[in-house]
Amino acid sequence: MLSLLIELWSGVMSSFKFAFFCLVFLCFTLEALEFKSYKDAKMSQKENKKLIMLEVVRTNCHYCSDMQRDVFDDEEMSAWIQERFIPVKLNLDTDSLPLGLKVSFTPSFFFIDVDENIKKKIPGSWNIEDFKSMIKDLK
């Protein structure tokens, strides 16, 4: 009888471990767009020559949350951005901005080349179509 209980308990624990693993994996894949640190982006940029797409946000910024939900959490748009840019997100409340950048409101986007030149600045929150049309020709 004891061996049967032990066998049942092992099965339950095995199922629990699998469920826990799935939950942890899901938590790490919820954000469709993978943002890097600015330092890591600069290292990647040396190899792939993509522009850095630097998004500047603030904690509790309603428009920043809208942009995340409506644009960056969209899998198709996220893949499109990852193909063309190296995404970086910095929070004005906790991070310092590189290159002496100044931001009037959030979100704001800066597209930075390998020589640290700002190729384009886009202030504000946008839907997928508008945002894509503003950045599609950047290289």
- Residues 71-87 have pLDDT tens digits of 999 999 999 999 999 99
- Alpha carbon of 134 to those of 7, 27, 63, 80: distances in Å? 60, 31, 18, 14
pLDDT digits 0-9 by tens, 47-69: 999 999 999 999 999 999 999 99
Residue 59 contacts by C-beta under 8 Å, 6 or more apart in sequence?
A: 91, 93, 94
CB 80 within 8 A of CB 129: no
Quickly tell me which residue has 């428009």 as its tokens.
63
Residues ≥6 apart with Cβ < 8 Å to 101: 54, 56, 110, 118
What average pLDDT does the chain have?
87
Q: Does residue 116 carry a pLDDT above 70?
A: yes
Model pTM?
0.77
